């Protein structure tokens, strides 16, 4: 299967433009989350882009995959996230609650897992008995009132650099040290321009897409494991 994946949007139109330009050339388009919170655009622009992404999903319901990021989930569960727009909290909360069923936490295809930040073996074993297929169903039960919510920030490391962090929060170093035995494609942590974004080991690949300019995307063949990193 050929998959196009774009990373954190944060109110920028570029990922959506890339997705639209590639929709007829692939089997799936996957957005890796973080649609809101921006230091470059105000809420009016963010809201417009967010609604356009949702419309794109509705236009291609079986082809477009929308995943949650930590910034998006913060408006449902934990507002203590850098850049959280408290002035618009209720408005953004309403959007994600009303459209919740259009979003997931992970997407799995062949030997690939797509998520906002990555799935660690430590987190998966602690919370889901090492069963990836249990993540989305649990998330959609909306049991976020629990103090031990598996999708909140879980460690004492303010940056999230701990293997106990989940797929909305974990950082590359911790993920690399505790990755599941799947290839993974993630956003969440900005990589500098012209830096290698595909980490290859004997067991799996880790692909990191988040970029300051929001213009990096991946073309992934989940059958052959071929990965192309491109700029839109």
pLDDT tens, residue by residue, 62-100: 999 999 999 999 999 888 888 999 999 999 999 999 999
For the record, the structure tokens of 129 come out as 């008995």
Q: Where are the domains of the chain?
A: 2-119+183-231
Q: pLDDT tens digits, residue range 142-181?
A: 887 765 689 999 999 988 999 999 999 999 999 999 989 9
Rounded to two decimals, what is the model's pTM?
A: 0.96
Q: At what angle do helices 43-59 and 14-22 cross, to 10 degrees?
A: 20
Rg (CA), the chain: 16
**Cα 56 to Cα 48: distance, rounded to the nearest angstrom:** 12
Q: What is the pLDDT of residue 79?
A: 85
**Cα 202 to Cα 222: distance, rounded to the nearest angstrom:** 17
CATH class, 2-119+183-231 region:
alpha beta
% the chain with pLDDT above 90: 86
195 compared with 199, residue with greater pLDDT:
199
User: Residue by residue, what is the 3-state secondary structure of the chain?
Assistant: CEEEEECCCCCCCHHHHHHHHHHHHCCEEEECCCCCCCCCCCHHHHHHHHHHHHHHHHHCCCCEEEECCHHHHCCCCCCCCCCCCHHHHHHHHHHHHHCHHHEECEEEECCEEEECCCCEHHHHHHHHCCCHHHHHHHHCCCCCCCCCCCCCCCCCCCCCCCCCCCCCCCCHHHHHHCECCCEEEECCCCCCCCCCCEEECCCCEEEECCCCCCCEEEEEECCCCEEEEEEC
Number of neighbouring beta carbons within 10 Å of residue 39: 8
% the chain with pLDDT above 70: 98
């Amino acid at each position: 299967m050929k998959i196009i994946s774009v990373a954190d949007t944060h109110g920028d139109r570029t990922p959506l433009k890339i997705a639209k330009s590639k929709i007829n050339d692939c089997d799936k388009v996957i957005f890796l989350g973080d649609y809101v919170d921006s230091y470059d655009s105000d809420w009016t622009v963010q809201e417009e882009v967010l609604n356009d992404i949702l419309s794109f999903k509705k236009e291609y319901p079986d082809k477009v995959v929308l995943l949650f990021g930590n910034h998006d989930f913060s408006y449902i569960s934990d507002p203590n996230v850098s850049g959280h727009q408290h002035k618009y909290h209720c408005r953004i909360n309403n959007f994600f609650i009303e459209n919740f069923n259009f979003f997931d936490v992970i997407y799995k295809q062949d030997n690939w897992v797509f998520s906002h930040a990555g799935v660690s073996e430590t987190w998966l074993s602690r919370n889901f008995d090492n069963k990836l297929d249990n993540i989305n169903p649990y998330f959609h039960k909306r049991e976020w009132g629990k103090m031990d919510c598996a999708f909140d920030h879980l460690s004492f490391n303010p940056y999230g650099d701990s293997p106990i962090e989940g797929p909305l929060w974990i950082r590359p170093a911790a993920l690399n040290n505790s990755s599941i035995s799947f290839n993974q494609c993630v956003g969440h942590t900005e990589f500098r321009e012209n830096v290698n974004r595909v980490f290859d080991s004997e067991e799996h690949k880790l692909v990191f897409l988040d970029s300051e300019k929001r213009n990096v995307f991946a073309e992934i063949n989940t059958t052959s494991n071929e990965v192309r990193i491109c700029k839109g």
